[in-house]
Amino acid sequence: MTATEILARMPYGKDFLFVDEILKFDENGITGTYLFKRDLVFYESHFENNPVTPGVILTETMAQIGLVCFGIYLLKDQEANTKPAFAMTSNSIEFLKPVYPGDKVWVTSEKTYFRFNKLSCKVTMKNSIGEILCKGTIAGMLIRHGNG
């Protein structure tokens, strides 16, 4: 499976996709990036005249790269040619530095547990100079549609 194939199977529309590229991945982890474009709609109202990326969006970005993209890769043989759905079951994120409009982030996820389609990962978000912006653990499960 390639990075392009992983991204093609993401279950999000363009307005809620917080992954630009997948840089590397294997059975133990994944790394990807996202650029928080200045024109994202939530910047208009989240701290007017001093926009900052909401923590819920940072968590979503970490989950999309570190849980969903990684889960798609791990389930590549089971879920071929489908867009699997994942549900976040838990997260514990520590926010250390703000992320502003125009910032590019690197998200790295390391597998801590994967069994019975439940995935738990240690996830870190860094900026362009390698500073840790937020870190924590995220867990989720694959949700099968239909008979699954």
User: Could you read off the pLDDT of 37-85 as tens digits, one per residue?
Assistant: 999 999 987 777 889 999 999 999 999 999 999 999 998 877 666 677 7
What number is the average pLDDT over the span 76-98? 82
Lowest mean pLDDT among 27-31, 90-94, 141-145: 141-145
> What is the tens place of the pLDDT at every residue in 9-42?
998 888 899 999 999 999 999 999 999 999 999 9
Rounded Cα gap, residues 13 and 19, in angstroms: 11
Paired residues of 37 in beta bridges:
none
54: left (phi over 0), alpha (psi -120 to 50) or beta: beta
Q: Is the pLDDT of residue 146 over 70?
A: no
Could you list the active site residues?
A: 46
Contact 29, 109 (CB under 8 A): yes
What number is the average pLDDT over the span 126-136? 97
Q: Is the pLDDT of residue 147 over 70?
A: no
* Domain extents in the chain: 3-143
Burial-class residue 11 by CB neighbours within 10 Å (0-12, 13-18, 19+): middle
- What is the CATH T-level fold of the domain 3-143, as seen in this structure? Thiol Ester Dehydrase; Chain A (3.10.129)
Per DSSP, the three-state class of 92 is strand
